[in-house]
A and B are shown apart, each in its own frame.
Chain A
Amino acid sequence: MSHQAQFTALVDWLQGAITPNERFTLSYNAEASDFIRFNHAKVRQAGHVQQASVYFKLIDDGRHADLNLTVSSDEAVDRQRLDEALQQLRETLTLLPADPYLLLNDDAWQSSNVQDAPLPDSAHVVEQIAQLGEGLDLVGIYAAGPIYRGFASSNGALGWHQANSFNFDWSLFHENGQAVKANYAGHEWSDEAFAKRFALAREQLAFLGQPSHTLAPGQYRAYLAPAALEEVIGMLCWGGFSAQSLADKTSPLQRLYDGHATLNPLVSLDEQVTGSLSPAFSGEGYPRSDLSLVVKGVAQDRLIDSRSAAEYGLTANGAGWGESPSALSMNGGSLALDDVLKELGTGLYISNLWYLNFSDRTAGRITGMTRFATFWVEDGQIKAPVSTMRFDDSVFSLLGGALEQLTRERELILSASTYSQRQTASNLLPGALISRLTLTL
């Protein structure tokens, strides 16, 4: 039985099992993934994970409770589990008061997106990696396989999202400990495209062989490549655009949304669901809207889930868990990629940042480390790799007064995260030229 048929069968069974007063929502998450880890260009650990679960919400007279339940591929077993879950939730509801912030979407919306282009056999991919990685110190992970997401409600809403994808996330290490990070991800594997991407990483590795340049703490001009900028933007996703965080006054963009501060007019950020790789519906059953979060440096939309909508009198717009963006798109600027070094002049070319956190959340001040392929540039020429450095700076400076230019070209960065399950989030970002980045350690 296909995953979609399995999900539909559960929905049909549940429709017949509930009482006239009861309502439900049921979302579905499944994947069949190959996970192959590499170290020293060899396979360190290989495995396959087949998993499926439903997130079941039962509602009765304004009271509701949720149960996340693993399902197997056996129809009888799953019906029994769902039946037990239904009984458990019914018993739970009798213990609860009505929830004043329950807001259900009654629309019987329909959505379907199936992308089932075949993926290469993992053994073929490993062979490719082994050939290209011959003689190199390669470490990383290849994750691939189908991902399934579904949603249904007792009101007749039905969404299905299915996509085959792969994500090879890897690093090449120089013997001096310096490394370059690379990624090749998508739906259609191409040996040629992969070889090209690999060659680019190999080329960067050559620069890392030079003696590293040690910097003193201070302020430096810097170019943040898209992967580095993604880390900065990622911090803003920790409640930055969340309706609840903004109401609770814990958003790092509180000042922006309160109108007490602005970002650089170059900064425009959208939650661009249309055309992204993530489902067009949220786990709680709302179609996801395209949103303009920041327009020319000024806050506009926020991410609102149903609970925030009910509590703060807003309109839900399909925000997912934590009201975080998962298809963020930042407008590009006018800086040509080929001109980055020239425009940087003398300063830091930063490929990646790492382990960011807040120094002062309310003030939008963040800290983090350089990691992978950070170079010292003089007069537009790469001079040497730079030892790991810590920065500590305000987002209102980095994306405000200190932001000089954004690159015209943008990079689509697909999430390599596999916590609990393979993620479908993505970011479409340019690189950023910054007039001053504060290094502290």
Chain B
Amino acid sequence: MFDFSAQLKQRFATLQSSARFFSLRYVKQTSQHLSVRKNVPEPPQLSTDEGAMLTVRIDGVEAYSATNDLSQRGLQAALERAEAQARLLAAHSLLDLRDHAVATSRADYLSPNLTRAFPSLSDCYALLAQESASVPKDERLVNWQVSLGLENVEQIYLNSAGAEIRQAQRFVFPGLSVTAYDGQDSQTRSLGRENFGQQGGAEVITSCGIIGAAANVADQALQLIMAPNTPTGPRDLLLTPDQMILQIHESIGHPLELDRILGDERNYAGTSFVKASDFGSLQYGSKLLNVTFDPEIPEQLASYAFDDDGTPASKQFLIKDGVLERPLGGALSQFRSGMEGVANSRACSWNRAPIDRMANLNIEPGDQSMQQLIGGIEHGILMSTNRSWSIDDARNKFQFGCEWGQLIENGELKGVVKNPNYRAISAQFWRNLSAVGDASTFKVLGTPNCGKGEPNQVVRVGHASPACVFANVDVFGGDA
């Protein structure tokens, strides 16, 4: 761990710069992605990536240069390139960062169980093959795949003010999916994949629940192709955590990103229906809604002690009792806006600069068991596992779709329905939050695929949520 640390520090100390402030962020990521598809092991995809980003600040203007050349000469060249760019573009700079404070902390952060060995490649393949072989023989089951992603990331941040922040993290992404086809329609049921990932070791495979799950997932895919379409009309909507994470992500997370509110993302990821003046007063949701930025749940995907600009991270309420309190804005956005934020300045790797990102964005548990949530619904539907997401650029009008639907009538779960979709408007939807599940319904989930930024970046984000009920939502099915 941190094998390159001493050498990197030495090279950083030797760098020559006329800038009053400069920093280096080194990232090394090794990964393996394994998959067994229809009982055939696919070739392993391995990766080793490393490089560094040098950032300078000259007369309040920042510029960066990222390089794959980690030699002393390569780092020095990158630093000089960044300096030249900062000077060349100074006349057109949007920001004057002379008074923007810089990081000074020194600390290490490690994922839970990082020092425990992960199962060997052979053991991983054996596990995947066993699960794949558990899919029942049925000619309607046309495709299935069991997969396991493993990513080890080391990051070292150094700056001319003396900061030295190292973090070593291991991320695990198990997944399972089965597709059934009846000659007309196909339906896919999955577990994990894009809706699950955690930091840690082998225990993450267990906590995902894929071990021993293949037969049940296959059975649900078969149930879906035999099920009727989701009926159209308003219903109370019970979302399980594997759909709640998408709901939180798209209609709370993105609209609260401060760089969007400041306009940086208007050309690509979009803007926000939330205005800076809304913080402290806007009733974002019902009084049951409590949303936190929480980097302190060890296994969650985006738990860390410092963000990628070196700002210390701690749990903060973004929405309390339904009222909007603070945005998802890192130190730079806080400096620009004069607002309080969180430590969420993040980059996907060494070749992209940190920007405001979601990290762990969670809904705090309420007080109702799953049985109570269902029992409180007269005319409703349960939806599980996101499969489709679409929302406008201000993050307001949305339409989401799930893999699995089950009608609820008079407080009881009824038949399975396929192609469950719903649409609503963020600014109103959260005010219809009518019940929040307790800790027994709470799950720590996340996704490896949050895209944003120019140039584009994909980062891992964590979302933890209980099951939740929303009153009177427009739901509908598909055409097939």
Contacts and interface: CB of A to CB of B under 8 A. Distances in A.
B266 interface: yes
A440 B195 CA distance: 27
Interface stretch (A72-80, A149-157, A218-226, A403-411): A72-80
Contacts of B51: 51, 70
Contacts of A275: none
Contact of A70 (B42, B50, B94, B268): B50
A170 interface: yes
Contact of B455 (A35, A66, A95, A362): A35
Given A43-B93, A367-B390, A390-B397, A50 B68 contact: yes
A363 B479 contact: yes
Interface string A102-124: 10000000000000000000110
Contact of B478 (A77, A92, A96, A359): A359
Contacts of B67: 50
A139 B397 contact: no
B143 interface: yes
B425 A441 contact: yes
B227 to A, nearest CB: 13
B94 A43 contact: yes
Interface string A27-51: 0000001111111101111111111
A34 B68 CA distance: 15
A420 B50 CA distance: 13
Interface in B332-363: 351-353
B109 interface: no
B441 interface: no
B48 interface: yes
B143 A250 contact: yes
B423 interface: yes
Contacts of B264: 37, 39, 44, 139
A65 interface: yes
A65 B457 CA distance: 27
B388 interface: yes
B247 to A, nearest CB: 14
Nearest to A94: B122
B267 interface: yes
Nearest to B88: A123
B69 interface: yes
B367 to A, nearest CB: 33
A171 B266 contact: yes
Nearest to A58: B43
Given A39-B94, A248-B179, A363-B478, A70 B46 contact: no
A48 B84 CA distance: 11
Contacts of B142: 247-249
B399 A69 contact: no
A357 B401 contact: yes
Contact of B66 (A48, A130, A440): A48
A42 B401 contact: no
A394 B480 CA distance: 11
Given A47-B82, A123-B89, A169-B267, A95 B69 contact: no
B83 to A, nearest CB: 11
Contacts of B53: 47
B390 A368 contact: yes
B65 interface: yes
Contacts of B47: 67-69
Contacts of A368: 390
Interface stretch (B70-78, B285-293, B322-330, B373-381): B70-78
B393 interface: yes
B239 interface: no
Contacts of A88: 46
B89 A66 contact: no
Nearest to A389: B397
B95 A100 contact: no
Given A52-B68, A96-B41, A390-B423, A369 B392 contact: yes
A148 B39 CA distance: 37
Given A46-B85, A66-B45, A362-B478, A367 B93 contact: no
Contact of B480 (A69, A360, A389, A422): A360
Max chain A Cβ within 10 angstroms of own Cβ: one of B351, B387, B401: B351
Interface in A349-403: 354-363, 365, 367-369, 371, 388-390, 392, 394
Nearest to A141: B454
A356 B455 CA distance: 21
B102 interface: no
B40 interface: yes
Contacts of B41: 96-97, 99
Interface in A4-35: 33-35
Contacts of A74: 69, 71, 74
Interface in A224-258: 247-250, 254
A70 B479 CA distance: 46
Nearest to B264: A39
A100 B186 CA distance: 26
A354 B392 contact: yes
A48 B81 CA distance: 8
A181 B327 CA distance: 27
A256 to B, nearest CB: 14
A67 B266 CA distance: 37
A102 B41 CA distance: 11
A413 interface: no
A57 B399 CA distance: 41
Contact of B89 (A43, A143, A360): A43
Contacts of B470: none
Interface string A134-172: 000001110100000000000000000000000001110
A286 interface: no
A394 B478 CA distance: 10
B480 A363 contact: yes
B68 A72 contact: yes
Nearest to A48: B65
A309 interface: no
B16 interface: no
Contacts of A139: 263-264, 266-267
A394 B49 contact: no
Contact of B48 (A68, A102, A122): A68
Contacts of B401: 357-359
Contact of B82 (A48, A92, A361, A371): A48
Contacts of B392: 354-355, 369, 371, 388, 390
Contacts of B69: 50, 72-74
A270 to B, nearest CB: 27
Contacts of B368: none
B93 A359 contact: no
Contacts of B399: 357, 359, 367, 390, 392, 440-441
A302 interface: no
Contacts of A169: 267-268, 454
B63 A46 contact: yes
Nearest to B53: A47
Nearest to B50: A70
A357 B398 CA distance: 11
A291 interface: no
A179 interface: yes
A101 interface: yes
Given A47-B65, A362-B185, A65 B46 contact: yes
Contacts of B478: 359-360, 362-363, 365
25 contacts: A43-B93, A44-B95, A50-B65, A51-B51, A67-B46, A67-B48, A68-B48, A69-B47, A69-B49, A72-B68, A92-B46, A99-B42, A102-B43, A143-B455, A357-B399, A359-B388, A361-B388, A363-B479, A365-B478, A367-B390, A371-B392, A371-B393, A390-B399, A418-B454, A440-B423
Given A46-B64, A394-B479, 16 more contacts: A39-B94, A64-B43, A69-B47, A77-B71, A85-B48, A96-B43, A130-B92, A141-B268, A169-B454, A171-B267, A247-B143, A249-B179, A354-B392, A355-B391, A390-B399, A422-B455
* Cβ-closest 5 pairs across A and B: A360-B478, A42-B94, A363-B479, A418-B455, A47-B64
